[in-house]
Chain A
Amino acid sequence: MNLLATIGASLSARVDRAGYVLNLLVRAVGYLPRLGRRWRFLLDTAFNAGVRSLPVTMVVAAFAGAILAMQTGIELRRFGDTAVLGTITALSMCREMGPFITAVILAATVGSSIAAELGTMQVSDEIAALEVMSVDPVDYLVLPRVVAMAIMCPTLTVLSNLVGIYGGSVIAEHNLGVSSSLYWLSAREALTSSATLLPKEVYVGLLKAVVFGIAIATVSCAAGLRASGGALGVGLAVQAAVRNSVILIIVLGFIVTWFFYFLAG
């Protein structure tokens, strides 16, 4: 009985938190028509987010591409079919790995700093001060961050994809005996020959990146706005922001792939 009550309470707290995050996103979207007034701040936020996470993202992307090439290369070598290595690396980088690693790095760098910033504002009454001045924190603080991340995450993802494919080419040439020209030829073919403007792998990956960016920003803003209890509370908010972002990245990534490749065909 006691156990049930505990599980029930923890579940209802979770539902409550999820409701808060969704509500925050809906309210932020409601302010979209007035975003024009915040464009300067938005550009600042987007630029800072990009610059801050660019170096780490690129290093990780290069290694991720290399790992991808090794993993598939080991199997392909057994069938003597390493010619398609460029194709496979390029497509899986664009569909899964690029958006995923970019989002995880953004969660750790930008998500955590959003939570710390808004959390500090919450515990020092700055959020209350905005409300008292009838400035809605959702309009003033949340919306520009959500939009900045919705722009920055796909932008960085494109770079991650390119660097990742390059990382794969190094392994292909040095360890798997695939000539660099063959690798790049098959990669380019996979990413350009398509009936639609962009191949499915690329647009699904970019859509994912947009969804991840929005999710990270919203979850991190929510964690910050709900912080309480001084510096310790801010620490807990940062922890919650990163943890919840990473969980959402994985779950939403699964849902998007499943939707486009299994549900909608």
Chain B
Amino acid sequence: MIELQDVHKRLGGRQILDGLTLSVPQGMTFVLMGPSGTGKSVTLKHIIGILRPDSGSVQVDGQEVPRMDRAQLMALRKRMGYLFQNGALINWLSVAANVALPLQEHSKLGKGEVDDRVHEVLRLVGMDHAAKQMPPDISGGMKLRAGLARALVTNPEYVLYDEPNAGLDPIISQQIHELIVEVRDRLGVTSLIVTHSRACAVHCGDRIGVLEHGRIAVQGTVAEMTHSDHPLARAFLGGGAD
């Protein structure tokens, strides 16, 4: 269970989050939409403890994230996968080495087991063929998929996806949506997805919320939201949206 209560955060002299409240029940997928620059990525960074709120509460499994010490944060992060916007791959490591990184630094797996696991996840995101390539040499969509593999490689209980299908063609997009749903159904993962894509929201989400002016302006189930008259819901999920 992920729970944010009345979170406020100022960044670069602007009030980015202004009373944000949202909750993701165990095993559910919450889709967060909203205009560019409204603080969607900032919200995700609060949940994994990279940013701390000025006020308000951020809880995972009833534990207050901003009050965690280093060891507790590490323990939380081991249970959480995070797909960064654009992948955030380490530039001088190959795709496979990037995906192996979370396993090498902390698990007691041997080299063979790590390799097997890395290739298994790379296959899931359709990147097995590019395992040896370096991040500067691959396309944006490929970086994103490698980042996705890195987020999933540790079999996390929670996954935060920041724009999992940005810049992907419709066929690969569809595969990624199916992967997200499969991860939820098979492993019972609780997740939060930030996306601009109606297809992704409708396909992957249990609930959808739209962020505006630092708080959730409207939220509901997928059915409620696709039929809502709220202008933001119509802008992001109506017939004209894609």
Contact = CB atoms under 8 A, between A and B. Distances in A.
Contact of A124 (B74, B82, B88, B105): B88
10 contacts: A120-B91, A125-B88, A126-B89, A128-B50, A129-B82, A129-B89, A129-B90, A130-B90, A131-B50, A133-B101
Given A134-B105, A134-B106, A129 B84 contact: yes
Nearest to A120: B91
A22 interface: no
Contacts of B48: 132
Contacts of B85: 125
B29 interface: no
B43 interface: no
A133 B105 contact: yes
Contacts of B84: 125, 128-129
Interface in A117-140: 120-121, 124-126, 128-135
A28 to B, nearest CB: 16
B198 interface: no
Contacts of B91: 120-121, 126
B105 A132 contact: no
Nearest to A228: B12
A133 B88 contact: no
Contacts of A124: 86, 88
A98 B48 CA distance: 48
Contact of B88 (A129, A134, A135, A229): A129
A15 to B, nearest CB: 22
Contacts of A126: 88-91
A126 B105 CA distance: 16
Interface in B207-235: none
B117 interface: no
B102 interface: yes
Interface string B76-97: 0110101011101111000000
Contacts of A125: 84-86, 88
A154 B101 CA distance: 33
A135 B101 CA distance: 9
Nearest to B162: A125
B89 A132 contact: no
B146 to A, nearest CB: 11
